[in-house]
Homo-oligomer: A and B are copies of this chain.
Amino acid sequence: MRISELSEESGVSVASIKFYLREDLLFAGEASSATRTEYDPSHVARLRLIRALIDVGGLSIAAVRTVLAAIDDDAMPIVHAFGVAQQAVTASLVSSVPPSAAAEARIAELKRARGWETFEQNPGEQIAARVIDAFGVIGRSDLESLLPAYADAAEAVARADLAAVLAVGSEDRTRMVETVVVGTALGDGLFTGLRRIAQEHIARQLGLPGSALQPQPTPLTEEATS
């Protein structure tokens, strides 16, 4: 297909496509004549990933380049490429202020207890450790009691995330990494929203007359429970 068709197919403007070509993010098409270059479905897939990285993941062009290099390096195991993508998408959440050693130790202990293994420097460890510190600063370290339930849920969600990645088919590295990027970046918001709804649902269940959330129990009547 020509560049105009590639633009239509991918939903990316011709100007942006030319920019990505100049920046070497998109590999060149095949020159079929002096004035005509042919693009194929691999270009469409690549453009989709670039847009996902920029629009959904909020990545800079430099960060996009890093993720694409991981995909293009066939010698890099795909699980490493996932790590590169996850780290790039998560970078904006990582603070320049490191967590306390105590909070880091608390997360390390959780990892050991659960048998969670990671390479060095998973960005999630800093993010979680900083929450532990925040609990402490406001005098609510008792809320560390939430950790096991949150870890169970995080593991279940991660299993679903990876199942979605595998569903793509392992021969398509571009699409697999796109799934990692989109799932990681948008999954945060999805969980945040569903957690709010579930919180209200559970609070309502617990808040029925006679339950512990109702400070002054009222008589149980048909109206009150319906």
Query: Which of A's residues lie within 8 Å of B, judged by CB?
Result: 48, 51-52, 55-56, 77-79, 82-83, 86, 90, 93, 107, 110-111, 115-119, 122-131, 134-135, 138-140, 142-143, 145-147, 149-162, 164, 166-167, 170-171, 173, 178-179, 182-184, 186-204, 206-207, 212-215
Contact = CB atoms under 8 A, between A and B. Distances in A.
A10 to B, nearest CB: 10
B117 A161 contact: no
19 contacts: A48-B138, A52-B140, A79-B203, A79-B206, A79-B207, A82-B207, A111-B197, A122-B197, A123-B196, A127-B189, A128-B190, A131-B193, A134-B186, A134-B189, A146-B187, A150-B194, A153-B153, A155-B198, A191-B191
Given A134-B56, A200-B83, A215-B171, A194 B151 contact: yes
Nearest to A80: B207
Contact of A79 (B125, B173, B213): B213
B170 A215 contact: yes
Given A48-B138, A170-B212, A195 B146 contact: no
Given A86-B196, A206-B166, A214-B78, A190 B159 contact: no
B146 A183 contact: yes
Contact of A193 (B128, B199, B202, B203): B128
A145 B187 CA distance: 12
Contact of A187 (B119, B157, B164, B195): B195
Interface centre among A129, A149, A179 (most CB of B within 10 A): A149
A213 B77 CA distance: 8
A83 B189 CA distance: 19
Chain A binding surface, main DSSP class: helix
B204 A143 contact: no
B213 A170 contact: yes
Contacts of A143: 164, 179, 182-183, 186
Given A52-B138, A138-B48, A127 B196 contact: yes
A110 B190 CA distance: 13
B166 A213 contact: yes
